[in-house]
Amino acid sequence: MYAWGGDQVDQAVAGCVAALRPAVDRDWRAVNAAGLEWSVHQTAVHVADDLIAYAANLAGRAQDAYVPFELTLDEGTDNAGLLHVIETTGALLAAAVRTAPREVRAFHPYPFRSANREGFAAMGIAEVLAHTHDIAGGLGLEYEPPSELPEFVLTRIFPHVQPGPDHWRTFLWATGRGELPGRARLTEWRWNNNLALPADRLTLQGITPAAARDLVAGGDGGFEWIEGGPFEGTREASGFMLKAYEGGVHRPEFGVFALVRREDGRAIGGMGFHGVPDEEGRVEIGYDLAEPARGNGYATEALRALADWALARDDVHVLFAAIDHENAASQRVVARAGFTRATVEEEKSHGELETDLRLYVLKD
């Protein structure tokens, strides 16, 4: 079953508390966490603060800013009490993740100003793993989480990071905390929640590497599909995206999107890019719909939304769509979205094209 993260939040917090409990009699204010200017005590409070802030935003459906409150410990709270606070705030985040509806998105400032329940779980786990590592380092304690936890984080909110054979070491590198052979050490880093683009009746939801892997394996990718979905093109596109991710060349904003109906939260198809824009700002786009969703204008609506978003960027100037010359329905879709038949020169610039395909183009 596809994991949304509630159990993983619980597991990460339990591992944090178990690792730090042997040092509760130490002075956590007198020593800094490894690699940070914060004391161990400040870092532990920061973990709890992030967990409750994420729980509050998700549960409270915050849309424009964090819920306006701040975590404050009672005077005299000792280290054991602080660990209890971490346990409690972690439980609240896990509960928020488990109870939030699938389609809920709430405020987080970067990179696209929102996250779903899976994203909030991954961010909470990332904070716990990274800062437990920092605290343990400052206190001279051993700590390494089960590999499935950093893997959960990497495949949800680090889609731009090429995976490695050791998920924990890759996570430490991705958060500026370690070395990886063949990769320069990071001095700046940021995670990347999936992009969601609104259309009139649909939301285009960016497919994460975790979702793509599940789709390729025959799963639902965490989406509730209408009958007949996902169609084979969405699974195939997810496979190409997964290869790009594993090769370290995936840019999530130019990946694959699930088309989700607003009225019932059910996915009806997929749409996305065949890669990143080339040096001239050209990028190819493709799509498919489950058969019961066809003939309702959904593909045109989604294509317009994705094209508008892409062409508003500085790095995209031309969109291409290659369509079978016998597929009149798809030709009507691109025409309604503003695409026109490519010229001979444009087809030549696109490269070799299969004989049964026709190229359509939309420019900024």
| 97 lies in the same domain as 208 | no
Q: What is the pLDDT of residues 207-263, one digit of tens each?
A: 999 999 999 999 999 999 999 999 999 999 999 999 999 999 999 999 999 999 999
Residue type, 275: G
- Report yes or no on 14 lying in a domain: yes
Does 247 lie in the same domain as 100?
A: no
Q: Is 354 part of a structural domain of the chain?
A: yes
If asked whether residues 210 and 330 sit together in one domain, one would say yes
| Same structural domain, 100 and 213 | no
Is 186 contained in some domain? Answer: no
Q: What is the amino acid identity at position 38? A: W
Bridge partners (DSSP) of residue 272 are 256, 286
Return the pLDDT at 349.
Answer: 77
Domain boundary among 141, 174, 207: 174
| pLDDT tens-digit readout, 338-352 | 999 999 888 877 777
Q: What stretches in the chain show pLDDT beneath 70?
A: none
Q: What percent of the chain has pLDDT over 90?
A: 93
Report pLDDT for 348: 79
Which pLDDT score is estimated for 27?
98
Q: Mark whether 210 and 170 lie in a shared domain.
A: no
Instruction: Give the domain CATH number at 13.
Output: 1.20.120
122 shares a domain with 255: no
Indicate whether 355 belongs to any domain: yes
**pLDDT on residue 356:** 79
pLDDT at 350: 79
What pLDDT does 347 receive? 82
CA dihedral sign of residues 160, 55, 67, 86? negative
Range of the domain at 321: 196-363
Q: Based on the domain organization, do 28 and 135 belong to the same domain?
A: yes
Q: Is residue 153 part of a domain?
A: yes
Specify if 78 maps to a domain: yes
Sequence-distant (6+) residues with CB within 8 A of 345 are none
Q: Quick one: which of 248, 241, 231, 233 has its CA closest to 207?
A: 241
Q: How many domains does the chain have?
A: 2
- Based on the fold, state whether residues 88 and 204 are members of the same structural domain: no
Count of other CB atoms within 10 angstroms of residue 184: 8
